Amino acid sequence: MRESAPMWTFQGSPSPSALSISLDGKFAGVGNKSGLTLLNQNGRPVWTNNKIRRIKDISISTRTGKMSIASAQKVIYLVKRTGEAIWHRELQSSAASTSISSNGDLIAVGTSLGRLIVYDGKGKVRWETHLSNSDFPVNTVDVSSDGQFILAGTDYSNVYLYDRKGEILWAKETSAEVVQTCISSNGDYIGYLTSDRTFYFGVKSSRILWEKTFTQQPVWIDMTQTADFVTVGESSSKVTLFTKEGRKVWGFKPRPSPRGVMASGGGSVFLGGQGGVYKYSLEPYLKRLLLHTNKRIEKAFNENLDTTTAKKYFKTAESSFKSGNHLDFLVSIQQARRSAREARIIESEQTPNERRIERNEMEKAVSSSLENSGEDELMSKLVQLAEMRESGILSEEEFVIAKSKLLNL
């Protein structure tokens, strides 16, 4: 595994105690004992708020840019993207963790004495509960992007899933203290890391799909909104990507960074340590995913399968990748892969190669015989007919009849 160079570095002081990054990776929040700083997509500070101190956790709303801030000074804050506090609420104990929904209308906070409190966007308490009826810290809390589910983990070796109304869906005893959690945008997939070096990946029902125990304690985990892959900081100098099936697919060596988060769109990760904070691109892996999908579609096509839909999604994914829209890329590339996998056989006696040769010969013959101003339109229609025959929409007989009508044969 090669050491990777960061896209940019921000050297602030003191070391960060909390990090968060927007869905598209274009801005990031850095918190420490001295205050909160917002960085732009080039790693340059936009503003610093020194009134909020001893920051334990940060969460950024993907749509509004608002940030929920958990402070060890027994306060939870909601802050505008411009840096001003919208409201703050005092707590009975230190705020240990926080998370905010995509539209900013639901904010969850876990405290150092075992309470889970959920606020609306105006700072009114929706509901609260005492997890495990104990004073063990709520180390981690995650709100699904759609605001429908809240996943929380405690030092009491328990993980919980609640709905937005405060109804508990399930509680599960874990093998050790829950260090960190992650959840997909709709709550269908969940993940959690325990202090015995084990990461668990499961579904909303609490069923575990796979688990992995590492040789040393991982330092952080995160998941894309689509749950297509999970990032695991296996150590402060090793980041690894796993698919939702648990297969290791990529990784890199960053500069030593014990803290990390991933842009939920899947395009970058944001890491922090004593040397500063760094942004690393995940596009090398996304590019590999693009190339692998293209090969899968080509293979399906050569096996005489209808790849029309797969190619359409692939083209959309390719465009999203070029524009840097990583979330749309992940959605489209998975649709392309699924369409290629489920492609049906084209009912034709000709092989794909024979169909391509005939189509090319037809195009050459027609282009040499057309002389009037409507040749471009006619050529387009003939090509369209050929594509419809290739995809199985037209039978051989229907294709011949339609071509003859166009050419007045």
Among candidate residues 383, 381, 385, the one with its CA nearest the CA of residue 394: 385
The pLDDT assigned to 75 comes to 98
The pLDDT assigned to 376 comes to 56
Beta bridge partners of 269: 262, 280
Alpha-carbon distances, residue 276 vs 126, 237, 272 (angstroms): 37, 14, 6
pLDDT digits (tens, 9 = 90+) for 294-318: 999 999 998 888 999 999 999 999 9
Length of the chain, in residues? 409
DSSP 327-392: HHHHHHHHHHHHHHHTPPBP--SS-HHHHHHHHHHHHHHHHHH--STTHHHHHHHHHHHHHHHHTT
Rounded CA separation 193/106 (Å): 24
Alpha-carbon distances, residue 120 vs 43, 75, 243 (angstroms): 31, 16, 34
DSSP 192-208: EEETTSEEEEEETTS-E
Regions in the chain scoring below 50 on pLDDT:
366, 369-373, 409
β-pairing, 85-90 vs 95-100, is unpaired
- What token pair was written down for 110? 């876990």
Rounded CA separation 314/51 (Å): 48
Rounded CA separation 401/25 (Å): 54
Q: What is the largest CA-CA distance in the chain?
A: 87
pLDDT digits (tens, 9 = 90+) for 348-378: 555 666 656 655 665 555 455 444 445 556 6
- Report which DSSP code applies to 34: T
The pLDDT assigned to 373 comes to 40
The pLDDT assigned to 73 comes to 96
- Residue owning tokens 């009037």: 372
The pLDDT assigned to 297 comes to 94
Here the contacts of 270-274 (C-beta below 8 Å, separation 24 or greater) are 270/19, 270/20, 270/21, 270/25, 270/28, 271/6, 271/19, 271/233, 271/239, 272/15, 272/16, 272/19, 272/30, 273/15, 273/16, 273/236, 274/15
Rounded CA separation 55/96 (Å): 9
Mean predicted lDDT score pLDDT of the chain: 89
The pLDDT assigned to 100 comes to 98
The pLDDT assigned to 385 comes to 66
Among candidate residues 6, 14, 64, the one with its CA nearest the CA of residue 273: 14
The pLDDT assigned to 369 comes to 44
The pLDDT assigned to 370 comes to 43
- What token pair was written down for 359? 């189509």
Q: Is 95 helix (H, G, I), strand (E, B) or coil?
A: strand
The pLDDT assigned to 384 comes to 67
For residue 184, with 0-12 CB atoms within 10 Å meaning exposed, 13-18 middle and 19 or more buried, which class applies? buried
Whether 215 and 198 have beta carbons less than 8 Å apart is answered as no
| Residue 302 φ/ψ region, left for φ over 0, alpha for ψ in the -120 to 50 degree band, beta for the rest | alpha
Question: What residues does each domain of the chain span?
Answer: 8-281, 287-341, 352-407
Q: How many CA atoms lie within 13 A of 294 on its CB side?
A: 10
Q: Please give the model's pTM, rounded to 2 decimal places.
A: 0.83
Does the CA dihedral 357-358-359-363 come out positive or negative? positive
Q: Please name the fold of domain 8-281.
A: Methylamine Dehydrogenase; Chain H (2.130.10)
